[in-house]
Chains A and B, each alone.
Chain A
Amino acid sequence: MIKLENISKKFGQTTVLKDINIEFLPEKTYAIIGSSGAGKSTLLRCINLLEKPTEGKVLIDHVDLIKEKTQLTKIREQIGMVFQNFNLFAHMSAIDNVAFALIKVKKMSKVEALKDATLQLDNVGLSHRLNNFPHQLSGGEKQRVAIARALAMHPQSILFDEPTSALDPEMTQEVLKVIKQLNHIGMTNIIVTHEIKFAQEVADYIVYMNNAEILEVTPTQEFFKKPKTQRAQEFLSNMI
């Protein structure tokens, strides 16, 4: 269970997050949407403390992540993350990218880790790319390796930070297809995205953010019928 309590984040004088309160229920998919600069990515990055909130509590399975510093790496292990710019390790082949944390964090043997990594890459349709380096892969392939890397850890939840924003429409579809498949394997998915149609298809809940605040958390069907807030209605009508 992921819970944010009274989270604020300031960069200097700029407030990026203002008193955020939200609980992400297990095994549900959340799409965080809203205009650029609304604080969506920062919110996501606060969950695994890549960004440290200025105020508030981040509770993961009732552990206060900011206070319990010793728990941080242990808990991060259970929260996968996929980035806009893929962030693959440039000096490692696809299979090593996936196996790396299995060896270093999960302490698996090299043989086991490589076997697992092969399986994960196969699941995202990249069994023919095992030994290619990131610079030899297309954007869509890179992102699929990144997804395989996150999934290999068998996390309880996974954070997607605009996973398709750096991709062309065709690659976007290939990555979205992979993410959709994850929807039913019992993880909490939290996805920051600008792909409204995709959000509508995969999410159980829409989190609408504007101006550093969460304006509403609404079940997806309801949201697309009629958002609760005026601002979200405007946002949606601009989109469709």
Chain B
Amino acid sequence: MKIDFTKIAEYIPYMMGGIWITLQVAFATALIGSIIGLLLSFAYRRKGWMQNLTMFWVDFFRGTPLLFQLMLFHYGLPQITGWVPTPYVSAIVVFSLNSSAYLSEILRAGIESIDKGQIEAAHALGVSNLDISFSIIIPQALHNVLPAIMNEFITLVKETSVVSIISLQDIMRRQAIVSAATYRFFEPILVVGLMYYVLNKILSYLGKILERKISYDKA
């Protein structure tokens, strides 16, 4: 069989519609995952049950496959709770929780990279803990780990392809549908790959700009 893109040309707009779904899941996840991740990274600094909970959280979401987590939430839990989430909701919930575990570890490293002296200096000036967190710790932690965070976001965009397994009509799922309709695989798969590639190229470009913007230690 020859390669022939004209056979799938009419489906390309349909496949591109998946970009929107993929981006929605990725952005919602990045946002919710970052907030939970930040809370976790601060919770970790408290000794006691909060630290233990954080450690268990991170272990669970890093220690089991994303696919398992998705299946558990989307197909497993409804049997117990009786609540059947839409694929869209399942995708965002599971990815957010999963991503929060990775992001909390990245942010924790960022927080630990700040020398304690600055925090002591702020305490000595009478600055409140809240102001220290938001004005001293978080800005510097973000700055120090921004490349790692961008890496996590790029991974996220790619990993959202797993949601096709629960029938969410993202880019990957639409490829399967097009392939089924046209009996062609190489072309639609190639188009899908290109879409992910371009998406992440744009994302990493934006990351570079952001990095340059918040940089304060390069002369």
Contacts and interface: CB of A to CB of B under 8 A. Distances in A.
Interface of A: 48, 50, 73-81, 83, 85-92, 100-101, 104-105, 133, 135-136, 146, 149-150, 153, 159
B120 A50 contact: yes
Contact of A81 (B118, B121, B140): B121
A50 B123 contact: yes
Given A50-B120, A104-B131, A133-B217, A89 B126 contact: no
Interface of B: 115, 117-118, 120-128, 131, 135-136, 139-140, 143, 216-217, 219
Nearest to A92: B216
Contacts of B139: 91
A159 B127 CA distance: 17
A234 to B, nearest CB: 33
30 contacts: A48-B124, A50-B123, A73-B127, A73-B128, A74-B126, A76-B124, A76-B125, A77-B125, A81-B125, A83-B121, A85-B115, A85-B117, A87-B117, A87-B118, A87-B120, A88-B121, A89-B118, A89-B121, A90-B216, A91-B139, A91-B140, A91-B143, A100-B127, A100-B135, A101-B122, A104-B127, A104-B131, A133-B217, A135-B217, A149-B125
B118 to A, nearest CB: 5
A77 B117 contact: no
Contacts of A86: 117
Main secondary structure of the interface of B (DSSP, over half): helix
Given A89-B136, A90-B140, A91-B140, A80 B217 contact: no
Contact of B124 (A50, A92, A136): A50
Contacts of B131: 104
Given A78-B126, A87-B115, A89-B136, 16 more contacts: A80-B124, A81-B125, A83-B121, A87-B121, A88-B121, A100-B125, A100-B135, A104-B128, A104-B131, A105-B126, A133-B216, A135-B217, A135-B219, A136-B219, A149-B121, A150-B125
Contact of B135 (A104, A135, A136): A104
Given A83-B120, A88-B118, A133-B216, A101 B143 contact: no
A76 B129 CA distance: 13
- Most chain A Cβ neighbours within 10 Å, of B124, B139, B140, B219: B124
A85 B125 CA distance: 16
A135 B140 CA distance: 14
B125 A153 contact: yes
Given A90-B140, A91-B143, A104-B131, A81 B124 contact: yes
Contacts of B121: 81, 83, 87-89, 146, 149
A92 B127 CA distance: 16
Contacts of B120: 50, 83, 87
B61 to A, nearest CB: 30
Contacts of B125: 76-77, 80-81, 100-101, 105, 149-150, 153
B112 to A, nearest CB: 15
- Most chain B Cβ neighbours within 10 Å, of A48, A89, A91, A101: A91
A133 B218 CA distance: 10
A176 to B, nearest CB: 21
A222 B120 CA distance: 36
A80 B128 CA distance: 15
Contacts of B117: 83, 85-87
